[in-house]
Amino acid sequence: MHRLIEKGLMFGNLIRVDSPVLVERYNRALMHLTGKQTQQDVFHIDISGYSPEIGDEFDDTLYLNHAGVNRQFILLSTEQARAPLLNAKFSTARGILKQFITENRAELFALTARDAVAGELVNSVYLADSPARLFDIRKVRIEADTTTGTVAMADKLGRLIDRFKTEQDAWFDDVLIAQMIGMAKQTGDVMRNPVRLQQMEFDQENFWTDLFGGIYLFRGVEHPAAISAKDKEDLGKLPIEFLFDLTDRSAIAKFLKLNDLVEPIIDARGVDAAAILQQKMDFIVMEVAATMGENLTGATRRDLRRLGRQYAKLLPEAWQGLAALVRWAEEDGPWPKITSEHPAYFYTLRAKPHADADLVNMLLAELTPLDIRQLFICHKEVFYRAYATWPDEKRAYVADFLDREYQVDKAGTREALYGHEAPMEEPRANVQADLITRVGPWGAVGRRG
């Protein structure tokens, strides 16, 4: 993985922690959540506070994500909102954390000026020991506070102030006044600067989970279904009528069409569809050439065209189908009949602009593994696993291509491919303006998601 790390394609945009003060705060939060402390004095953290260096130290990539079900987090800075989420077990987790930080930015900025904020993404499932248990996950709420309980103490101080204002003899209650003064020394002036975090709860209808080999769960659509990356028979009986795996191509195609989740790239407005399809063809040529042991270092599109001619007889049916579609688009060739059983079919689709576009593009990426760019952009967990199995020739080309063609203009590439730069919509929260008083490479704390 060294190529990906060197080019910022893996562990990119992590937050560096090298201040003794921040390390000490992180250790307090880590002890608060897990009962452990790190010996590292310099490390990097993702949006949840997970550090790949500490994961190596503990030999536990889930030290803030026990059993992968209720993800815990440590916030040292609001800057973590721009960091990725490593070792994601649920597709919604990063969006939830990002929205929590964004919606509480001013409050978190004030709290993290003096202490770390520790918390957890909590649902009613503490252990997903069977695929069926995933269906019990309906909502996720966020619980958070500083390691010294500033938020909870501010809530208690607020209630004491209310008593002082409303009780008739409160001015003469020396005990009450002493309590308020003592708490105010720790919380500050909660009347002028309320230490208050929004209580946020997120519906979990449609999501992907890495558990059990990878499952896409679509419950918030007109025709619900679950789609497994592994053999569906291994999942046992699930509380949903339709269960598919990635070999059920026609059934998945029908599911996507019935729920109006995808559109043909060739019909998408404002994109160069032929160029997108041609790039997918180049990736397929690259796969064949790498398999044949060709040196792909610095390979250009011209080089790939040459290799395509050289290995024309070895190019798979997926390439042939895309080529026919490009001929139709560019040269007024005959319309190719590409059905859902055709290997090229899912390569011709992208998600429509809707709230679950990113989830649908994740699914399409897994259905089209030869499109290495889409796999990297939309499904990094699967990309990294696949990358580790590729021949060195392919790894070198892919790392160089992504560095040269994607890293330089991420927003522009996403706009061209999918019609939007960021997720179509962050997870929607049911928010109440209230205090949250409870806290419950490499690849989280008591419970997680």
Q: Is residue 140 part of a domain?
A: no
Q: What residues make up the domain containing 273?
A: 263-351+357-418
Assess if residue 110 is contained within a domain: no
3 state SS of 171:
helix
147-185 CB burial, b ≥16 within 10 A, e <16: bebbbbbbbbbbebbeeeeeeeebeeeeebeebbeebbe
Q: What total number of domains does the chain contain?
A: 1
Residue 320 lies in a domain: yes
Q: Could you report how far apart the first and last alpha carbons of the chain are, in Å? A: 26
Residue 328, in any domain of the structure: yes
Confidence at residue 309, expressed as pLDDT on a 0 to 100 scale: 94
Residue 336 DSSP code: P
Query: Which residues, 6+ apart, have CB-to-CB distance to 440 below 8 Å?
Result: 70, 72, 119, 120, 122, 143, 446, 447
CA distance linking residue 23 with residue 42, whole number of Å: 8
Assess contact for 192 and 109: CB atoms under 8 A.
Answer: no
Q: 188 — alpha (psi -120 to 50), left (phi > 0) or beta?
A: left
Query: 11 phi and psi, to 5 degrees?
Result: 60, 25
Radius of gyration of the chain (CA): 25
Q: Report the pLDDT value the prediction gives residue 156, as an integer from 0 to 100.
A: 60
Give this prediction's pTM: 0.84
Q: Which long-range contacts (CB under 8 A, 24 or more apart) does 130-133 make?
A: 130/236, 131/211, 131/212, 131/215, 131/235, 131/236, 131/238, 132/236, 132/237, 132/238, 132/239
CA-to-CA distance for 427 and 97, rounded, in angstroms? 10
Residue 424 lies in a domain: no
Using DSSP's 3-state secondary structure scheme, residue 424 falls into coil
Q: Which two tokens stand for residue 442?
A: 């490499």
Residue 366 included in any domain: yes
- Residue 111 belongs to some domain of the structure: no
Sign of torsion over alpha carbons 64, 70, 71, 76: negative
Long-range contacts of 270-274 (CB under 8 A, 24+ apart): 270/419, 271/416, 271/417, 271/419, 272/416, 273/329, 274/326, 274/329, 274/330
CA gap 154, 143 in Å, rounded? 15
Q: How would you write the pLDDT of the chain (449 residues) with one tens digit per residue?
A: 888 988 889 988 899 999 999 999 999 999 999 999 999 999 999 999 999 999 999 999 999 998 888 899 999 999 999 999 999 999 999 999 999 999 999 888 888 888 899 999 988 777 888 999 999 998 999 988 888 777 656 666 556 556 656 776 666 667 666 765 666 656 554 444 456 787 789 999 999 999 999 999 999 999 999 999 999 999 999 999 999 999 999 999 999 999 999 999 988 877 788 889 999 999 999 999 999 999 888 888 899 999 999 999 999 999 999 999 999 988 777 888 899 999 999 999 999 999 999 999 999 999 999 999 999 999 999 999 999 999 998 999 999 999 988 887 788 888 888 875 444 445 555 544 332 232 232 223 333 34
- Asked if residue 414 belongs to a domain, the reply is yes
